[in-house]
Amino acid sequence: MWCGSRRDFLRASAAGIAAAGFNTAARGLAQIAGERPRQEEGVRVLNPQTRVPVSLIIDDSTCLVNMAHFGMPQFAEAWPDRESYRKPWRKTPREIPDAFLRKFGQWCRDHGVKGKYSVVPYPACVGWLDRDLPGWSHRELLDSLDLVRTLLLPDWDVHPEMVSHTWVINTKTGRPYEERTADYMENWRWTDGKSVDQLADYMSYALRILKNVGLPCEGITTPGGFGTQVLAELAQATLQSCRDVFGAEVPHYFRHLYTDDRSVAPRVEYASGLDGPDPKCVVSIIGCTGDWLGGWDGMTPGSVDRFITEDLGSGRMVEVIERGEPAIIVCHWPGVYFGGEELGFKIFQEVVRRLHAKYDNLTWMKLSEIARYWAAKKLTRIERQAGTITLDAPFACPQFTLSVPARNDAVPKLSAADTPQPVEEVRSPLGLKPRTWVRDQAGLIVCFDLPKGKSRLEV
């Protein structure tokens, strides 16, 4: 991510584009939705199990290396006039130890927290995760990678945050380019004017390093301003690179966050081939908070109340959850660790406590799970003839939840590939899980694991 809030970056970017004479609205909508199937009016796809998805995005993370410590002097070289890069970085720890990752990861598992954890492949040009990390033994590197695989992967997506998160790497030589300006920083202007193939080549380079160390990826995170001026190309390059390197069925990317009144629902883009054997799409995941835990530099104290106030009555998370949209917190790993004080972690723990005290209808999800659900929500063909609803899904999706108009005495019957799937009635929407249903004022709500291809619901 950009070294500063994404909101500040977007403000700065918008000002720069306007000054250059570009239409910012047109550029912001550069991505296209692609194909959209017919969906029967009145039949609605609800949130999974009628719950509101929540998630945590962690940026600027990797194995052992404190990205803020090693990155700040490189940022200062590219932007010598910026006060934000003149902080006393030498006083910050060079390492964020695995002991902290283990503590953080175990706490999140105990409390059901899920999300995305970046693993920068060549962190601040210190060393390669699939080779060696100077300053740490090879054994320490292997142990750190194993911790990510065993502790995090069940509950977290792993993303590359491009290759180094600082200087751009020549993919033909594996070395940074010689030029030391903002034009050759991943965080800024290098992506301007780049084609889909050029971006995909660079992103694939990062993905292959993580593949070499056994870290599967279904998506990417952009470092700072990466791709801001080529949003259409960025989306298509994500689709291309994640499919090519990992065979990801529903690739996704994190580029945007909004803290105003704009929707933060995921955007399903470039859908094609929905009726054929190789359906495609890419999903843009949108964060809903600034980094209010501890900052990218691990020196900027955050605030619990900006997420949710002590009386549980307001805050950004409350705003988004009440709208029923995925509420995705954004933070940076150096700020979570906060120089060993763990201030960001403590703030996050209190945020989770308050959220769980206020709401009983949340579901923590990985970004890939949210992306898949929204792809199924937008791209499944839904048709109705009399009392039979036919679904034709390009992508399978667990916990798929439909609201269906029906008579008061109707009882649903579900079948997939002509095989009956028994469903049981539950007392309330919060009791929904796959193969259950509940009656409500509009008719029926049915939850089931949606298979790829055709399924049928009789009401």
Return the pLDDT at 152: 98
**Across residues 293-303, what is the average pLDDT?**
96
DSSP structure class, residue 155: T
CB atoms within 10 A of CB 85: 19
Task: Output 435-439 pairs: Cβ under 8 A, ≥24 positions apart.
Answer: 437/412, 439/408
Amino acid at 387: G
The arrangement of strands across the sheet holding 443-450 comes to 44-45, 397-405, 443-450, 436-440, 424-425
> What are 126-165's pLDDT values in tens digits?
999 999 999 999 999 999 999 999 999 999 999 999 999 9
pLDDT band at 380 (very low <50, low <70, confident <90, very high): very high
HSE-CB of 186 using CA atoms within 13 angstroms:
31
Return the pLDDT at 30: 60
> What are 209-244's pLDDT values in tens digits?
999 999 999 999 999 999 999 999 999 999 999 999
Sketch out the chain's domains with CATH numbers.
6-37+51-372 (3.20.20.370), 380-458 (no CATH)
